[in-house]
Amino acid sequence: MSAVKNVIKDNYNMMLIKDYLREAIKDAGFSHAEISKTPVGTRVSLHVTRPGIVIGRKGSGIRELTDKLALNFGLKNPQISVVEIEKPELSPSVMCTRMAAHLERGTAFRRATMWTLKQIMEAGAMGVQITISGKLRGDRSAFEKHAQGILPRAGHHAEMIVEEDIAHVKTAMGLIGVRIRIAKKENLIPEFEMRVDKTKKGKQDNKPSVIVEEILIGDNKVEVIKAVGKKDNAESESAVIEIESEKMETLETLEEEETKLK
């Protein structure tokens, strides 16, 4: 039983760490964390949309995170590396957080849902399903499902290519839950592969998609993996929410289209 208790304790501790990171570096667009034990200590890889916010000025953010993980969660010698997400719109965790922020601002849930669907599909997803439930309109709880594209529901393909995440929003009406499932084309293993003539490939195919940088903070080296060619002028996730809220006003919902037809 001691081995089982240790596994349960480790999993519970990992859940607490991820909940803490979701709130602590929320403005950096936190997606997920990969935690693994090494002979030297504990390696923590943070996948975010904006690494600069995590690192902080002169490494103050990294030092604070390192101290918190060591003192509050008992990680031995945590070594943090920051990985920039190439396409935030294909990350269920990032999109759940963004949609939750829109709902907290008072945006209509259907407008926020349609906008999120549009953003995910335009980023190149194979399919997406958004389930929103809770006190949506009145005193009674309700739920709605919105889907677009191809999304496997069960079987091997669903396990391989579909990723999902859940977020909860506290509103004046009550608690609302948001669940986003995204099917990625990159994870799909085709049965037949089309051969491409290598002589016709352009020079851009050899360009790396990421750049690896090492930043020395005190006695520790922090590895930062940045995506190449990412076009995003927003400084933080709060700025992204502000920009999207303005653009969202131009989006017509199904209710508005029905009103016009009447």
Among 58-67, 129-138, 146-155, 221-230, the minimum mean pLDDT is found in 221-230
Q: Are residues 82 and 105 in the same domain?
A: no
Q: Which two tokens stand for residue 240?
A: 């992204």
Q: Which domain holds residue 136?
A: 89-190
Residue 202 lies in a domain: no
Give the chain's domain count. 2
The domain that holds 110 is classified in CATH as: 3.30.1140.32
Q: Is the pTM here over 0.85, yes or no?
A: no
Q: Which two tokens stand for residue 150?
A: 């191809």
Q: Are residues 129 and 219 in the same domain?
A: no
DSSP 8-state assignment for residue 154: S
> 108 near 251, Cβ under 8 Å?
no
pLDDT per residue as tens digits for the range 43-58: 888 888 888 888 888 7
> What confidence tier does 130 reach under pLDDT thresholds 50, 70, 90?
very high
Residues with Cβ < 8 Å from 159, sequence gap 6 or more? none
Residue 237 lies in a domain: no
Q: Are residues 73 and 93 in the same domain?
A: no
Residue 201 lies in a domain: no
Q: What is the residue-averaged pLDDT of the chain?
A: 80
Question: Which of 86, 40, 78, 75 minimizes the C-alpha distance to 217?
Answer: 78
Q: Are residues 101 and 19 in the same domain?
A: no
Query: Which residues is 45 bridged to in the sheet?
Result: 34, 81
Tokens 């590895």 correspond to 223
Q: Residue 194: is its pLDDT beyond 50?
A: no
pLDDT attached to residue 192: 44
C-alpha to C-alpha distance for 143 and 178, rounded to whole angstroms: 10
Q: Are residues 105 and 184 in the same domain?
A: yes
Q: Residue 179: is its pLDDT beyond 90?
A: yes
